[in-house]
Structure 1
Amino acid sequence: MSETSGSEEAAPASMMETRPSGSQAVSPLAYDTALRSRLDALRELVGLSRTRLDSRTLAEAGRVLDEAAARRKLSGQHTVVAIAGATGSGKSTLFNALAGVAISETGVRRPTTAAPIACSWSDGAATLIDRLGIPGRLRRRPVQSADAEAQLAGLVLVDLPDHDSAAVQHRQQVDRILGLVDAVIWVVDPEKYADAMLHERYLRPLAGHAEVMFVVLNQVDRLPGEAAHQVLDDLRRLLDEDGVALGEHGEPGAAVLALSALTGDGVAELREALGQFVAERGAPGRRVQADLDAAAARLWPVYATGRRTGLSERARNEFAARLADAVGATAAGEAAERAWLRNANRACGTPWLRLWRWYQGRSDLPTGRHSLRMPVDEEPTARQRVEQAVRVLSDRAVAGLPAPWAQAVREAAARGAQGLPEALDELAARVGAPTGRPPRPGWWPVAVLAQAAMTVLQVLGGLWLLGQIFGVMSPNLGVPVLLMVIGIVGGPVVEWACRLAARGPARRYGLEAERRLWEAAAGCGRARVLDPVAAELLRYQEVREQYGRVLGVARVG
């Protein structure tokens, strides 16, 4: 066929530009409930992720949402199918064969199809073709019998430029329109069916769109004998390696056919398959679903890693323990315990030992008081412990998180760590050091009275002996000596018993002081670090659940 055989000058009036009919009502496309739910989830996911992911990562998801919304507003009674192929594959010849008349140019000049041409089998498709950017002068209507035209009612067929064209603008046209049509017929020939460019640039990336894909082996009239079957089997093998599901034995997937557009052999089978495909009115929804699956698959690395995430209770407790260690909670508890015991010893000891201890401890700190202020040379060590605690917590919190969310968690932990050592120092000074004497149990007055009684016995015995020495009282060594012995021995015994009795209360008092400072340090760390980190983890859990809705699964690993 010559180059001018399909030009506009030779085209009959019925094949010229199609114009929308103002009186014709076209029903918009309706997505099923599951697809609408997934699109809504993707829209929500993009909104939740804008502050964590860059615009390039979300660009494809945004494009899918925009195209799905745009396609939904247009006709649901039409299916837009593009015919794509390499130079010399015969796609324009097939386009003309399906239309029943020469519409698209064919010939030896390469590239032949310089611009996409649309052919609509029924009215009402003008807005769909407008979306493809095809001008009116390149829109056609087929010239066929009423039965043949009814078989493909609702079909909008688009002949694309060659995808391997030397002209860059032609390839750009192909890529743009392939992103907008509802289905694609890939036309290959016996020479280029295994072309790496076709498989690597188009078929492999679009493997998830197999349900809206036809793969046609054209020019089988050039193959002798069983060669056509062998080439077709090899084509199926290559498609399988590309990950393209084949629609065989009633399973969903790409339809693979062999035909000759030049002789017409097999064209009727393709027309019948196209008729059934268009009559189902499901291609636009399946195309959007395939785009949605592809966008969700690209987002997998930023939403899921297949690992368990979050902070365990053990990690939280260890963080609190490290902060408590940094402020010296254990040391504070031990100091409080020693203060309680010291106060008990001073209160329940013999008067003579108390005087001696008072004399030795005149230069010590006030009785029952202790200080938790750290020496200057220990403060850097405490700061390092706090920084280490935050670092360990951050490392555990980001385990299993995708990189963007891990970065957000680390930033939240770093913000919380600012000023945390100073806050803990102030907390230790306010909460850690008790003021005044430790509280006394109810048995202390009894011990004091017992100790006083022992002292009184010693004094009475001593005075009695002095009275006998000076002749004031009658001689009787037994009683006064016995009183003095009871007082001298009884005082240390009472003190020893008080020490035994004081161990339990002193330990509890120390543990209470340690617990108080431990909880205060834990509360400070929780407010400054744990809560912001937990908020980021919760946000990630929310977007991961939303991502699961996009995938259509209950839970993402």
Structure 2
Amino acid sequence: MTAVTDHTDHTDRSDRSDRSDHTDRSDRSDHAEGTDRSDRAGQSERAERGAVSGAGDAAPKSGPWDDGLIARRAGDQHGEGARDGAPAAGSGTYDGQLKQRLDALRELVGLSRTRLDGATLAEAGRVLDEASARRRLSARHTVVAIAGATGSGKSTLFNSLAGVPLSETGLRRPTTSAPIACSWTDGAAGLLDRLGIPGRQRRRPLQGQHGDAPLEGLVLVDLPDHDSAAPEHREQVDRVLALVDAVVWVVDPEKYADAMLHERYLRPMAGHAEVMFVVLNQVDRLPGDAAEQVLDDLRRLLDEDGIALGEHGEPGATVLPLSALTGEGVGELREALDQFTAERTAAARRIGADVDAAADRLRPVYAAGRQVGLSEAAREEFADRLADAVGAAAAGQAAERAWSRGANKACGTPWLRLWRWYEAQRALTSPATAPVPPAEEEATARQRVEHAVRAVGEAAATGLPVAWGQAVREAATRGAEGLPEALDALAVNPPQGAGHGGAAQEGTAHGGATRPPRPGWWPVAVLVQASMTILQILGGLWLLAQIIGVVPPNLGVPALMMLAGIVGGPCVEWACRFAAKGPARRYGQDAERRLRDAAAACGRARVLDPVAAELLRYREVREQYVRVAGFSTTGR
């Protein structure tokens, strides 16, 4: 045994030395050619993405996770050719779909970094990093790990597939303390370096066995026991399982239903069924039909774990019975592995399954429970609250009253105007203090604005995932800073057409304010009212002239003139007041509408637009998530 091992080690070292020289020369030439290809591919990809990247193309490339724009361009790094001259991992139609999903995941992470914490995006970042690392390595090789519990016979199976005892077997537990790799084809050094397997743990199989499948491109890794008592062994198992392209789970009749195996490994890896083999070893120990019964029970457990079984040509895990000790069923496993490696799609399938798992973990972060967005009713309610806070209705009523007072003043009798002037002069001379708006009204208006902002933030965040809902609320809160002050400025200096009524209400006109518009009948009414006044004056002068004897006595005509003026003046004033109700109401409504629109525009610019921008960002991110998850955007 020692002699065989020494001979094998010596042969392995010499082979590795020869392969290293050959690989180094080929790597240098292939790398130069691959770099040229990657430069051309990168230029083409950047040209296609120019419209998306925009100004972000000028930003320095410090890594694929800086921000959304840089994340869009991070895919250029994956245009590098394979170092060994082979095509990218999983090339073909499936790789085109996989590349689109990886690009979408990269975009998703870049757009979400400012909204989500690093722990939430850590798994997605790991998948992108590992996909990038695997893509740059050989696609001609398929890395398959053999994993199992203590005493399951995985090392014996490893040796049986290699045709020579490469991994130590025995009764001492644990037997395998470090991963051991066996490569059937040259050029797998980069893959083994990625797995962290040192040169002393790398082997070559016995070649040329008659009737055996060639297993060209296979890289087989014997792992330590996943249930080992040594924590470092379990850590190595978990680390390598996250990097290999496929895994062969070896179970025995005693531990095939072990809860640790199913709960810690098989169930979480249910989405990786297409790159998974489950072999029931040591069937030679089972009498009669016991092997079939145990195999059926194993299939039942795998089905409960959610692992699809590749039966009847369907994609899924391959389940086989065998005996590594006697060789029963090992040939079927070799043929399955040979066909599996010949397809050269294991790496792409593994990466695709990793993307599926990352999408499932991110579903609560991006998948909304309902149609999201800010409804028109919520916008109208927000505008109503702001209009109420700025006093648009009161301003409209004040404008209506001011217009009515202007009409009464212009069309009223001069004697009534004289009386009102006298009352105003007497009010000015009386000791009275100017009214001061109470502080309670200002506080109430501010509370109304804050309540309106909270309400619209909650309405916009309804149905969103927690992180994005919080981002929408924060956008509304940030936009509301300074909104009460802006509304106060609108109330003091309303937009054109709304300020005149408010100013007339207090009896003071703002400098430069235009006069309210007057209807066409207004001059006619003023002329008629002036005529009534002239009749009164002429009638009075005529009577006075008769009293002093200037004109002959004739009481009828001057009395009728005075009576017509006295009665006609109030009638004209009443008719004008009645006719002024419609225009005054329209003027007040126009003043209310202008102030309401100004308040709504202020709230839209400060609150609704930032909220809409955050919702648009979420929709963009969710669209990327839909691409990552492989769903159709139709109807979503």
TM-score grouping bracket, smaller chain normalisation: over 0.9
The equivalent residue for 1:282 is 345
The equivalent residue for 1:492 is 570
Distance 1:63 1:18 in 2: 34
Shift in Å, 1:466: 3.5
Task: Give runs of aligned pairs for residues 78-117 of structure 1, distance below 5 A.
Answer: 78-117=141-180
Q: What letter matches 2:243 in structure 1? A: L
Distance 1:150 1:187 in 2: 20
Q: What letter matches 2:565 in structure 1? A: G
Counterpart selection for 2:499 from 427, 433, 439:
433
Distance 1:171 1:18 in 2: 31
The equivalent residue for 2:544 is 466
Shift in Å, 1:125: 1.3
Task: Give runs of aligned pairs for residues 364-383 of structure 1, distance below 5 A.
Answer: 374-383=437-446
Distance 2:435 2:180 in 1: 86
Structure 1 residues 60 and 320: CA distance shift in structure 2, 3 A:
same
CA contact (8 A) 2:538 2:561 kept: yes
How many residues in Structure 1 have an aligned counterpart in Structure 2? 549
The equivalent residue for 2:35 is none
Residue by residue over 1:206-225, the C-alpha shift from the partner in whole angstroms, topping out at 9 and shown as x without a partner, is 11100000011111111122
CA contact (8 A) 2:212 2:331 kept: no
Distance 1:549 1:83 in 2: 33
CA contact (8 A) 1:247 1:253 kept: yes
Shift in Å, 1:335: 0.3
Distance 1:345 1:465 in 2: 30
Q: What letter matches 1:305 in structure 2? A: A
Helix, strand or coil at the partner of 1:156: strand
Helix, strand or coil at the partner of 1:257: strand
The equivalent residue for 2:86 is 27
CA contact (8 A) 1:18 1:126 kept: no
Q: What letter matches 1:433 in structure 2? A: G
The equivalent residue for 1:8 is 5
Shift in Å, 1:269: 1.1
Helix, strand or coil at the partner of 1:414: helix
The equivalent residue for 2:530 is 452
Distance 2:102 2:264 in 1: 27
Q: What letter matches 2:86 in structure 1? A: S
Counterpart selection for 1:245 from 297, 303, 308:
308
Shift in Å, 1:364: 6.5
Counterpart selection for 1:328 from 391, 406, 413:
391
Distance 1:266 1:146 in 2: 16
2:517 counterpart of 1:520: no
Helix, strand or coil at the partner of 1:532: helix
Structure 1 residues 90-99 or 467-476, which shifts more? 467-476
Shift in Å, 1:374: 4.2
Shift in Å, 1:360: 3.0
Shift in Å, 1:14: 4.9
Shift in Å, 1:5: 7.0
Structure 1 residues 331-340 or 310-319, which shifts more? 310-319
Helix, strand or coil at the partner of 2:159: helix
Distance 1:321 1:378 in 2: 18
Distance 1:256 1:542 in 2: 42
The equivalent residue for 1:155 is 218
Helix, strand or coil at the partner of 2:493: helix
Q: TM-score, normalised by structure 2?
A: 0.82
Distance 1:506 1:149 in 2: 102
Q: What letter matches 1:145 in structure 2? A: G
Structure 1 residues 353 and 65: CA distance shift in structure 2, 3 A:
same
Distance 1:363 1:132 in 2: 100
Structure 1 residues 439-448 or 225-234, which shifts more? 439-448
CA contact (8 A) 1:247 1:254 kept: yes
The equivalent residue for 2:63 is none
Residue by residue over 1:230-264, the C-alpha shift from the partner in whole angstroms, topping out at 9 and shown as x without a partner, is 11111111111111111111111101111111111
Q: What letter matches 1:430 in structure 2? A: N
Distance 2:127 2:4 in 1: 36
Shift in Å, 1:306: 2.6
Task: Give runs of aligned pairs for residues 64-83 of structure 1, distance below 5 A.
Answer: 64-83=127-146
Distance 1:79 1:139 in 2: 15
Q: What letter matches 1:209 in structure 2? A: H
Shift in Å, 1:485: 2.7
Distance 1:446 1:392 in 2: 52
Helix, strand or coil at the partner of 2:147: strand
Q: TM-score, normalised by structure 1?
A: 0.93
CA contact (8 A) 2:411 2:573 kept: yes
Pairwise CA RMSD: 2.2
Residue by residue over 1:509-534, the C-alpha shift from the partner in whole angstroms, topping out at 9 and shown as x without a partner, is 11121122112211222222222222
Structure 1 residues 461-470 or 389-398, which shifts more? 461-470
Helix, strand or coil at the partner of 1:456: helix
The equivalent residue for 1:405 is 468
2:565 counterpart of 1:506: no
The equivalent residue for 2:624 is 546
Residue by residue over 1:347-368, the C-alpha shift from the partner in whole angstroms, topping out at 9 and shown as x without a partner, is 1011122222333344679xxx
Distance 2:170 2:406 in 1: 110
CA contact (8 A) 1:208 1:244 kept: yes
Helix, strand or coil at the partner of 1:123: coil
Q: What letter matches 2:499 in structure 1? A: A
Paired-residue identity, %: 73
Residue by residue over 1:55-85, the C-alpha shift from the partner in whole angstroms, topping out at 9 and shown as x without a partner, is 1111111111111111111111110100000
Counterpart selection for 2:376 from 304, 313, 316:
313
CA contact (8 A) 1:81 1:158 kept: yes
Task: Give runs of aligned pairs for residues 1-400 of structure 1, distance below 5 A.
Answer: 8-9=5-6, 11=8, 14=11, 19=16, 20=19, 21-22=22-23, 26-30=85-89, 31=91, 32-145=95-208, 151-362=214-425, 374-400=437-463
Helix, strand or coil at the partner of 1:151: coil
Q: What letter matches 1:445 in structure 2? A: P
